Structure 1
Amino acid sequence: MAILKLPAVADYWRQKHMFSVPFPGSLMPRDSFRVISWNLHMSDPAEDVINDRKKGTPEYDTLFRVRPLMDDIKIACKSFYQPRLNLSIDERMVATKAKTGMTQYMKAKPTKWGFKLFVLADSSNGYTCDFTVYTGKSKFATGCGLSFDSVVGLMKPAFLGSGYHLYCDNFYTSPHLFRHLRSLKFGACGTIREGRKEAPKTKVNALTRKSPRGSLRWIRDGDLLFTKWMDNREVSMCSTIHPAYSGDTVQRRQKSREGHWETSHIPIPTPIIEYNKYMGGVDLSDQLIQYYSVHHTTKRWYRTLFLHFLDIAITNSYILHKELCQSAQSRPLTHKAFVEQLAAELCGVTLDVAATPKLTGHTPLPTRETTDQSSRATAGRLRCELCKRKGVKKDTPWKCGECDVPLCLLADRNCFHLWHS
């Protein structure tokens, strides 16, 4: 389903149609797939009932129905790959409009309605290192805010160690968070909102709307570096790992006084260059997932998350495949070829499609080949299709080679001739 997109799940088993797909029906009947899908549970249904009775109390677990698989996926993400130096944290939306109390709306995201996940990804390849599913503010009641708790919950020294550089947007960035990460021996860099608590509020030598493009301002507060840069608008950054300026420039086109467009090189702070380079880890992960996603509409909210966990596993597996091929200096499969091979192996088949058997014409053939002369007349006898329709029970060792239907072929009972006439 990740490779071949059809409007409805039942369309994969549609027969005698121009858009019929033969493979799913050869692997599993449609009704069997539906029964498995309808009865898919990641937790014990008896324990689900006990958890539902706790609704409205602190002991109630909103994600109880998906937690066993979710924990296994998170452990696998952290067990098989150690990320590189630069990491990024951002939100990810899993599309759904189910009324669960967890469904969020984010107007700035391409997928505006769905479950919101906080994702930690490797900036170099988009590998999903860890994630949490947002279930409501009541779950983040430490007093430091949702953005603080979501970052601290993902940046775990027990898993990562120390020395990593984290990049995040202005939803997460705060002096309090960056100082806490510094105490854990993590560096951090991100855009910062005006008026953040503990951020410098001085107006001395501040940028104004009339400041020329490329104007730079910075100030240090212990380990924290705050920078402001004028581009089309003012950009504010906070970092614990970069100098304010390293001599870098960026090209911009702007009109001269004579009205001609000219390309100029303007200075740019180092934190902005590094932020633009490493902030896209989660976006890269989302992009890879969307290429070949198994997501489809379902009536149970926990099956939506189940399908997304499959997407994470498939995408991370492909990234690991590329990393292993790179270390072995061999050529990796394309993303499409990898997903096709993975599907074939999980289904226990090969990608090689058997050639269509050549039509033999409407000629009589034995229902089963045999070398035993004594049983040749009775081997593989099947119920004659024409006799069965007449309500007569007659067996025959013959069938039509093209129709693949068992038919009598006797001097006094030539069902083969009657069937084709």
Structure 2
Amino acid sequence: MARHAPQEDLLMTVDSEEEFSSSSEDDEDIDDEGLHFEEGFDPAQDTFSDEDVIPSRAPHTGAAHKHRSVFNAVENLNKCENDSGQIPVGKRDRNLSWKAETDVDMNPKTLRFLPARKPGPQLSLADSHSPMSLFKLFFSESAMSNLCHNTNAQAARALAKGRKYSWTDVSVDEMYRYIGLVFYMAVVKMSSIADYWRQDSLFSLPLPATVMSRDRYRTISWNLHMSHPDADKENDKKRGTSEHDQLFRLRPLLDTIRIACKTFYHPRRNLAVKERLVACRANAGMTRLTKAKSAKLGFKFFVLADSSNGYTVDLSVYTGKNSFPTGHGISYNAVMSLLDKKALGSGYHVYMDDFFTSPKLLTDLLAMKFGACGTYRDYRRGFPQSASNSLTKKSTRGSIRWIRDGPLVCVKWMDKKEESVCSTIHAAYTGDRVQRKVKARDTWRTKTFPCPAAVTAYNHHMAGADLSDQLLEYFTAQHKTMKWYRKVFLHFLDIAATNAFILHKELHGNMTHKEFMEQLVADLCGVSQKEAPKQTSIDHMPVPGAELTSDVRKIATTGRRICAHCKAVFGKKQQTPWKCQACDVHLCLQLNRNCFQEWHKSV
């Protein structure tokens, strides 16, 4: 290794000049980001080299020539010197070639882990915490009071516009019961909202009608509002200016959820950053994102999760290319916006996928005393482009190639396909091995292969981010709504319930996820989980199906609907102005046809 010292000095010189050069060109060459999420690339980071153009993924622009990594700079410098006859070809090739697992890599400096608080739940272990009390950490009574105030204001505004439904102001207790029903529907799946109030079926459910009527549930859903409608109107007037806030309708609850996530739990050392999509087809008036594989429209969240248990530590919402105006690209700024050194501390290890990973991001995180590791895209600006001694499609499984540039090590590993990982916290190869099943002579057997330490750590800790999404999906509150911000509200409910479950598991660990959700539903709805809810006869009383008109000539016809019993039993479409207050279904009530009585014989 000593005979290469002059060339290594040259490499260090070029590295230093590139690392501390001005980023003004980066600011000038940021392309339009409108199609970024559909194909999954960041215009401020992704470029293509002359040798590896992929037209199907992105256009070939002049940015690829302007933004050269230290690797490309050294390669071009070597080419020039070779043309002048100063450096032999053989020596140049050795310096630029990828190294194998048999070559020894330096061990990166270990970062001292200094968290701002003791990692784990920031609650007393001596106290008993119920699912309801933990959920209220994220949806406190003050937050619910504000939610009720804005919802009532929205309902008043809707009625003033001529909406035809009855409304009484929703209280905090009733809003908690409403959320309890939302979670009940997440645990007990039915094909439609109306099915939860059906009483003419073998699969009828007794709970929803005892909590609130179907119409009341629907009217709350229609008017649910996180911000005040008058303030919304003032914000909408600023559309197109820098003062306009695209997240204004989410802001009150978004800020509350973010603060609560960071206040009541401090993450352990390994963190994961990833994208999360909330599917929605409603018109939000802002950038909607396309997930290429599923072709679903929705809103993109950038999420910071604890890899040990999937706890959502922080999140931000992507609203378009102006979300992060610093000029370093979406992926760079998304990560930086989630990592608050003052709140977290230092010495954390951050794992990310290839959308986020770039040399500048990893270098700047290291300067902040955050180690980082992530998969990367070969064509992204700043990563080595040399093909000398690199992996090929014919490389054997378990083959390793690596190049180190100061604190950064880029590793390629051949599994079923080539994997590329960049890290500031791992050496290229430390002797780790993984097991894979291989087929030989029509029989499968287990075989061990060498594996880079960065790949092993990435697979282990990014699984924590996947765990976070899995926990959200098990009992998700998501369902179809007419307004985009209600989809996000339901996502906030999922985050609050999942984080509350993780806190309960860390503190007590005596409930499964399903048991936790069942107890949370019972607490929110104000019922006992041990006994099936019983409907009292006083709940079942005939009431008019609609508000009575002042015109006496139309009293008998106002609000007439088809009788549920006549349709189910006799197949007839008899209309009646009466309905059951508890069941919320229209039933005949006449001297010669008492469907109301027949319907309730089984109740």
TM-score bucket of the superposed structures, by smaller chain: 0.7 to 0.9
1:336 is aligned to: 514
2:394 to 210, 221, 224: 210
Aligned residues of 1:77 and 1:130 also touching (Cα < 8 A): yes
1:200 is aligned to: 384
1:309 to 485, 492, 497: 492
Q: Distance in 2 between matches of 1:182 and 1:119?
A: 20
Counterpart residue type for residue 277 of structure 1: H
| Greater relative contact order, per chain length (Cα 8 Å cut-off, separation 6+) | 2
Aligned residues of 1:121 and 1:130 also touching (Cα < 8 A): yes
Change (3 A) 1:226 1:337: same
Counterpart residue type for residue 341 of structure 1: Q
Aligned residues of 1:207 and 1:230 also touching (Cα < 8 A): yes
Q: Distance in 2 between matches of 1:317 and 1:111?
A: 32
1:353 to 531, 534, 540: 531
2:304 is aligned to: 120
Structure 1 residue 145 corresponds to structure 2 residue 298: no
Helix, strand or coil for the counterpart of 2:522?
helix
The percent identity for this pair of structures is 55
2:462 is aligned to: 279
Runs of 4+ in 1 over 4 A off after TM superposition: 258-262, 354-357
Counterpart residue type for residue 350 of structure 1: S
Q: Distance in 1 between matches of 2:516 and 2:424?
A: 40
Structure 1 residue 32 corresponds to structure 2 residue 216: yes
Change (3 A) 1:11 1:253: closer
Change (3 A) 1:356 1:151: closer
Structure 1 residue 82 corresponds to structure 2 residue 266: yes
Counterpart residue type for residue 264 of structure 1: K
2:474 is aligned to: 291
Q: Distance in 2 between matches of 1:64 and 1:57?
A: 14
Structure 1 residue 23 corresponds to structure 2 residue 201: no
Change (3 A) 1:83 1:356: closer
Helix, strand or coil for the counterpart of 1:2?
helix
Task: Give the CA deviation at 1:235.
Answer: 1.4
Q: Distance in 1 between matches of 2:375 and 2:304?
A: 17
Structure 1 residue 106 corresponds to structure 2 residue 291: yes
Counterpart residue type for residue 226 of structure 1: C
1:135 to 282, 304, 319: 319
Give deviations 1:99-128, integer Å, cap 9, x for gaps: 2233211123x6832111111111111101
Aligned residues of 1:191 and 1:237 also touching (Cα < 8 A): yes
Change (3 A) 1:241 1:125: same
Structure 1 residue 4 corresponds to structure 2 residue 188: yes
Structure 1 residue 240 corresponds to structure 2 residue 240: no
Helix, strand or coil for the counterpart of 1:73?
helix
Aligned residues of 2:207 and 2:533 also touching (Cα < 8 A): no
Aligned residues of 2:374 and 2:421 also touching (Cα < 8 A): yes
Give deviations 1:352-399, integer Å, cap 9, x for gaps: 215979xxxxxxxxxxxxxxxxxxxxxxxxxxxxxxxxxxxxxxxxxx
Structure 1 residue 319 corresponds to structure 2 residue 497: no
Change (3 A) 1:196 1:22: same
2:362 is aligned to: 178
Task: Give the CA deviation at 1:46.
Answer: 0.6
Q: Distance in 2 between matches of 1:354 and 1:231?
A: 54
Q: Distance in 2 between matches of 1:117 and 1:302?
A: 14
Moved more, 21-30 or 184-193: 21-30
Moved more, 44-53 or 223-232: 223-232
Aligned residues of 2:210 and 2:533 also touching (Cα < 8 A): no
Compute the TM-score of the two structures, normalised by the length of structure 2: 0.56
Task: Give the CA deviation at 1:144.
Answer: 0.8
Aligned residues of 2:206 and 2:533 also touching (Cα < 8 A): no
Helix, strand or coil for the counterpart of 1:188?
strand
Aligned residues of 1:94 and 1:111 also touching (Cα < 8 A): no
After superposition, the CA RMSD in angstroms is 2.0
Aligned residues of 1:93 and 1:111 also touching (Cα < 8 A): no
Give the aligned length.
Answer: 351
Task: Give the CA deviation at 1:98.
Answer: 1.2
Counterpart residue type for residue 476 of structure 2: S
Task: Give the CA deviation at 1:89.
Answer: 0.9
Q: Distance in 1 between matches of 2:442 and 2:252?
A: 64
Q: Distance in 1 between matches of 2:321 and 2:353?
A: 20
Q: Distance in 2 between matches of 1:112 and 1:125?
A: 28
Change (3 A) 1:187 1:355: closer
Task: Give the CA deviation at 1:58.
Answer: 1.6
Helix, strand or coil for the counterpart of 2:187?
coil
Task: Give the CA deviation at 1:14.
Answer: 2.1
Change (3 A) 1:212 1:17: closer
1:95 is aligned to: 279
Structure 1 residue 167 corresponds to structure 2 residue 351: yes
Task: Give the CA deviation at 1:83.
Answer: 0.8
Q: Distance in 1 between matches of 2:454 and 2:533?
A: 59
Counterpart residue type for residue 526 of structure 2: G
Counterpart residue type for residue 103 of structure 1: R
Task: Give the CA deviation at 1:31.
Answer: 2.0
2:339 is aligned to: 155
Q: Distance in 2 between matches of 1:94 and 1:267?
A: 38
Moved more, 132-141 or 67-76: 132-141
Task: Give the CA deviation at 1:264.
Answer: 2.8
Structure 1 residue 187 corresponds to structure 2 residue 187: no
Aligned residues of 1:165 and 1:188 also touching (Cα < 8 A): yes
Counterpart residue type for residue 196 of structure 1: R
Q: Which runs of 5+ in 2 are unaligned?
A: 1-184, 536-603
Counterpart residue type for residue 105 of structure 1: T
- Work out which of the two has the higher radius of gyration on C-alpha atoms and give 1 or 2: 1
Change (3 A) 1:31 1:204: same
Compute the TM-score of the two structures, normalised by the length of structure 1: 0.79
Change (3 A) 1:19 1:171: same
Task: Give the CA deviation at 1:183.
Answer: 1.0
